[in-house]
Structure 1
Amino acid sequence: MEKKSVLEFRGGWRFSFVPLVVFFIFCILLFLVYLSYDMHALAMGGFLGLLIGAPFAKDYKKYWDSVIKGIASPNSVTIVIILFIIGMFSQMMKDSSASEGFVWVANKIGMKGGMFVAFTFLATCIISTATGSSIGTMFAAFPIFFGSGIALGANPAFLAGAITSGCIFGDNLAPISDTTIASSSTQTYRDKERTAEIAGVVASRFKYSLVASIAAFVIYLIIGGIGGTVDANVGALGDPKRLFMLIPVTLLLVVAVVSRDLFKAISVGLVTGIITGLATGIFTWDSLFASSGELGNHVTGFLPTGVESIMSTVTLVISVFGIMGVLQAAGALDLLVEAILKSRMGQTVKGTEVAIGLGACLTTMIFGGVTSASILTFGPVVNEIGNRKGIHPYRRANLLDGFVNSLPVVIPFLSVFVFISVALSGVSPVAIAGGLIYPITLFVTLVFAVATGWGLRYEGENGEQLKEPLSN
């Protein structure tokens, strides 16, 4: 077998982690010092890390060849293409203000207190699944649900927690979510040529999300109204017309699960969404694509804006895959994988899954709750250790995505989700952390799945799911 040419560093292979360390420092600086969730700035930290790490390499050209190889990898390119396409659908759903339809339903039915909090959790679950953007949904949902919910007797901390929890649900489950795409695209089959199909991952993930969300819904229903008071002057809230935008969402999800082809599903969702929006008056033709008429002929509309809005995430993906290219070329990831496999946990399938859960949680805490960066960083390690134990890529992707969206996003002073919730609601970080029920129930659900083997499947010779591992 031909020995791979290893990228060597002055001071040893540990210096290959310099770009990652610099990236981590910028995570801390942005989220803990500046309290800013700026993906462009975070990507800048990644690229700056690559520049700082370059002089430590013995072969400067090989170092940058490794960066380019990482960025040009099939996984990286696949994620970038998918992100650009889903950006348009995501922006369409944001611009449709579908959340106003849910507020209208709640007000007409007479939902108050804990019932409204539980309903808000359910509504934001649907909206975030439709948009595939947890942060985007938070900025859209808080102004509509939070003020209305307080007037309807909701507890502020639990209401803020319910909105954020619903957004995290969509981040975890939506086929167009960046974390779903990243967790699927970083997990390959044995042949190393195919990545886990996004629709297949979502279909197999649904049971975990469903159990955790039902538990969270019941808890919000019981305690969501504690301490809240109903405003006697509550008037007409919401807009029922916005509910029509659930049609493209439903069709997208159905096509994705049935065909297991995300590009086909996005096409159906985008076309039906445009038709539905125009037919109901939610959109005009200018809502799709138009010139602003300003100097320079700036183009507006959710189609170009959708591509523009996803650029920050794309730049982050490119920078992280560049860092991964360096670590791969230096053999650092292989050494980390070997260390895990040789540890006590790595001796068994259950121990390997425990290592996946612990590693995913730790990496997410290090990156301040930035789940996409965490998945892109730790995903290759999960792929290697899981592959060696024959664990199906669907299962690996589910554990990876599930654990990063669980306890790590609850920690008050290390979670970007908590920071944004505080900024949008004015509720204290500790109070909001206590109201984030879904990430906690998701963590419990996944721990149960690992402990009992619920949902564990192995990869067959042709990539099929097996209940028992293939015999060597």
Structure 2
Amino acid sequence: MKLDETQEALPKIGFYGGTLGTLLPFFVFVSGVIIIALSGAPDERGFWPVLMLSLGLGLILCKDKTAFSHVVISGMSQKIVMIMITAWMLASIIGVLMTLTGFVEALIWLSDQVKLSGPGFIIATFLICCIVSLSTGSSFATILICSPLLYPTGGVLGAHLPTLAGAILGGATFGDFIAPISDTTIASALSQDAEIGKAIKSRLKYILPASLFALAAFSFMAFNHNVGSNNVNIGALGSPKGLPMMLVPSFIIYLFLKGKHLLHGLLMGLLFGTILSLAFGLLNLENVISLDLENFTTKSFVIVGINRAVGLSFFTILLMGQVATLKASGLMNRLVDFAAAKAKTQKHAESWIVTVMSLAVLLTTHSIVAILMVSDFTKKTGERLGVSKIRRANLLSLIACIFPFVIPYFIPVILMANMTKTGQQYDIPQVSPLEVGLFNFVSWGLLIMTLITLIFGWGKFNERQN
């Protein structure tokens, strides 16, 4: 499967002011996103006006307004956009279903039964999210499914909230880097003509040390910041009624392990969960759908779930349109040519691949788009200087799983911070995007592994023949 297989060729567009005019809309976008994110407003809906302003500025600066419009629409309508939005939507609905049917209360009850403390729950949370992300291949689905279930439970148990949020995001990062159905895995491997199976096997030497580092860091922070339970009777908050709903994530994981499509797994999981909850009396038909004739509206947990995914979905649609203008301007091609000319040795080539990929990620705030943008440069430079296809793919994935998961204006961090709202009904405060990124020790572990790889050539021998 190729993520850009349906994308049509973009027309070449130019901007008044040359390179400055090309980059100015992105500077406006990134500046606005940083200001909003760091102000403590993690709702991605707040990025809509910034993106609209950025697109408007780009239209004004572009010499051919019609071509600019065509490029933006083409970027918005790529297949990968619909894949992402569908996954977020279905995962969000499942999260609402699990919350309504008392799954959080069941986890609290189980935690009370085994006398699991806040620190212990953080470690368990990290491991659970690793399994879910490895099975789904989606960091976003992992965050959307696990956050409403695990964050409130851990908060009630007195877990250190930034570490708890970081553990969820860290587990999501784990699968994004190594899961066979992860967009990051697929894009990085296929863009370098590498076999996905061999790429996954070769990544164990990066993710295992990073995960062990993260597990130690989560444990240290959890035990040194344990505040105890929130002066409540945890057993009174819990209830075993929602235990049958544990079959829902198990069923979804089973489908993904069987190699089912992301849509297949999530949609079947939603249908199974709905039938199961109705059969056990955990959900009323009114929760599934009911008519509010006085207000001329329809109510449903499905509607609530979709509404939760709207902010992120439209942010992605607008962003993909904005990013397409950068690609159509030819600026990335010029950067690629410059970097290719400067790379003289294999070690230089690897450093340039990491540098250009980092720049693309920071400029677009989107890892998959960044991978596709620098794929030609990575392939040409790597082939010319003997960097194997597996190693090139791994370098791209390493960067794709670092910056987007630690910087507070990237979608995964903002989404995780936004999902900490799920603890409000238990009087558990939110965690800021800055704290979420700082406590994602998996990405920090991957950053350490990247530096070791570039400086000491870690893993080069094993990847040489691939």
Q: Aligned residues: percent identity?
A: 17
Q: CA deviation at 1:404?
A: 2.8
Paired residue for 1:224?
222
Paired residue for 2:258?
258
> Are the counterparts in 1 of residues 210 and 445 from structure 2 also a CA contact under 8 Å?
yes
- Give, as a single letter, the amino acid of the residue that structure 1 aligns with 2:444: I
- How far apart, in 2, do the equivalents of 1:45 and 1:311 lie? 16
Structure 2 matches for 1:12-161, cutoff 5 A? Answer: 12-32=18-38, 34-112=39-117, 114-122=119-127, 132=141, 134=143, 138=147, 141-149=150-158, 159-161=160-162
CA displacement, residues 255-290 of structure 1 (integer Å, 9 cap, x when unaligned)? 223325222222332222223322333322233333
- Give, as a single letter, the amino acid of the residue that structure 2 aligns with 1:49: S
> Are the counterparts in 2 of residues 188 and 383 from structure 1 also a CA contact under 8 Å?
no
- How far apart, in 1, do the equivalents of 2:42 and 2:123 lie? 27
TM-aligned CA distance change 1:54 to 1:269, over 3 Å? same
TM-score in terms of structure 1 length: 0.73
Paired residue for 1:289?
289
Paired residue for 1:374?
366
Paired residue for 1:370?
none
TM-score in terms of structure 2 length: 0.74
- How far apart, in 2, do the equivalents of 1:428 and 1:14 lie? 33
Paired residue for 2:465?
468
- How far apart, in 2, do the equivalents of 1:15 and 1:400 lie? 27
Paired residue for 2:385?
none
Greater Cα offset, 378-387 or 422-431: 422-431
> Are the counterparts in 2 of residues 360 and 400 from structure 1 also a CA contact under 8 Å?
yes
Q: 3-state DSSP class of the match of 2:272? A: helix
Q: 3-state DSSP class of the match of 1:274? A: helix
Paired residue for 2:321?
322
TM-aligned CA distance change 1:203 to 1:63, over 3 Å? same
Q: 3-state DSSP class of the match of 1:468? A: coil
TM-aligned CA distance change 1:202 to 1:317, over 3 Å? farther
5+ residue gaps, structure 1, are 368-372, 458-466
Q: CA deviation at 1:375?
A: 2.0
Q: CA deviation at 1:387?
A: 3.9
Paired residue for 1:11?
17
TM-aligned CA distance change 1:85 to 1:123, over 3 Å? closer
Instruction: Kindly tell me the number of residue pairs found equivalent between the two proteins.
Output: 431
Q: CA deviation at 1:141?
A: 4.2
Q: 1:444 aligns with which of 441, 448, 463?
A: 448
Paired residue for 2:279?
279
Q: CA deviation at 1:354?
A: 4.7
TM-aligned CA distance change 1:434 to 1:51, over 3 Å? closer
- Give, as a single letter, the amino acid of the residue that structure 1 aligns with 2:109: W
Q: 3-state DSSP class of the match of 1:316? A: helix
> Are the counterparts in 2 of residues 19 and 52 from structure 1 also a CA contact under 8 Å?
yes
Q: CA deviation at 1:168?
A: 0.6
- How far apart, in 1, do the equivalents of 2:353 and 2:292 lie? 49
> Are the counterparts in 2 of residues 90 and 132 from structure 1 also a CA contact under 8 Å?
no
TM-aligned CA distance change 1:363 to 1:287, over 3 Å? farther
- How far apart, in 2, do the equivalents of 1:55 and 1:456 lie? 51
Q: CA deviation at 1:71?
A: 1.6
